[in-house]
Amino acid sequence: MHAVMTVDSCSCNPRSQARPGRDAIQLFTEGDRLFEAMLAAIDSAQKQVWLETYIFADDEIGRRFAEALVARARAGVEVRLQADAVGSLFQFHHFLGREFDAAGVQVHFFHRWHWREPLRYNRRDHRKLLVVDGRQAFLGGFNIHRQSSQRYYGVARWRDTHAAFRGQLARQAAELFDAFWRGDRERLPVVDEQASSILVPNQSRACRRRLACIYNDALGHARRQVCLTTPYFVPDHRTQKALIGAVKRGVEVRLLVPHAGDVRLARWAANAVYAHLLDAGIHIYEYQPRMLHAKVAIVDGDWATLGTANLDYRSLFQNYELNLVSRDPDLCTRLQAQFEADLTEASAVCVTRWRRRRWLPRLAELLGWSVRRWL
């Protein structure tokens, strides 16, 4: 079986060969274009609209989606909406829920607080997935909120990455959404062994850290270059070891992170490991123009993953996530080109200057690192 297709294990060896996929994958890096495409897909639905998101905000973007979902439900289409209870906290207002109820939209908030199961509150549904009629799907980092829209948020809108696809990938998406909705959170999709792309959840019955294993396997097999984009970089020790091991083998490792993130503690935790990685020869770049929220990795220009998982403890070991893992040559080329374009708007972190930072930033880093598993 081709490595990216080994859905019954926790390894996806990037060195194995796979045939080019038959289903074209469209990329979106601007929220307005993505939202228009998603809304058009919803408007075209004849049977089902299934939407899963971490944040569904009652703002200009959320209202447009709400209107589209209500319209399809009133037309007799089955509409399901799953939003994370924490991600949408204080953003999904009660009157919006009443509109959904009146129209017949099925709404589920994932892991609401309950005193009988307090620990489950720490495990969130971080997936962002739209499936229409089981034939068209969208997956990536964009949430349903105005921060991703230049039209409503301005030039400071978040920089993110999303993918749209049809065919067998869309069927996998439908299977995974339906299983998750029904409470089966360890389901793996049925996969064509000849495909070059699959959808990979981070948990299965065989492994509860599948995406962590996939990332480390990819890093361990890299031969020339690793390019990583992540908004929240809080790597566990195994991932740090894999990154440094790649550099020792002569692999160029480049990491792109935001200059200014939206979670200060997460940034402090990331900063705590910079010196160690810079000393090892890893190149770290900070994206300057705006908040960087994309989650993408490219290895040797011929293996890539994008989706909802960050390179941090919460995504890799706690939350429910979903990534696209691919050897599609065209997709890898486009993601590589986007990475190079992003670097033109980034500044390199200098190891010498980094080591000269004052005691107060170091104290903040210690604080961030101490709570890294909860960020």
Residues involved in catalysis:
126, 128, 133, 293, 295, 300
d(CA 41, CA 130): 9
What number of other Cβ atoms are within 10 A of residue 167's Cβ?
18
DSSP secondary structure of 206-266: S-S-HHHHHHHHHHHH-SSEEEEE-SSEE--HHHHHHHHHHHHTT-EEEEEEESS-S-HHH
CA distances from 113 to 51, 57, 86, 119, 120 (A): 22, 19, 9, 9, 8
State the Cα–Cα distance between residues 317 and 321, nearest whole angstrom: 10
- Helix residue spans in the chain (DSSP H): 31-43, 60-74, 94-103, 150-153, 167-181, 210-221, 237-248, 264-280, 313, 329-343, 351-355, 359-370
Task: Extract the tokens encoding 119.
Answer: 């620990």
Residue type, position 64, single letter: R
Distances 291 to 45, 48, 287, 343, 372 between C-alpha atoms, Å? 33, 33, 8, 14, 20
Q: At what angle do helices 264-280 and 359-370 cross, to 10 degrees?
A: 110
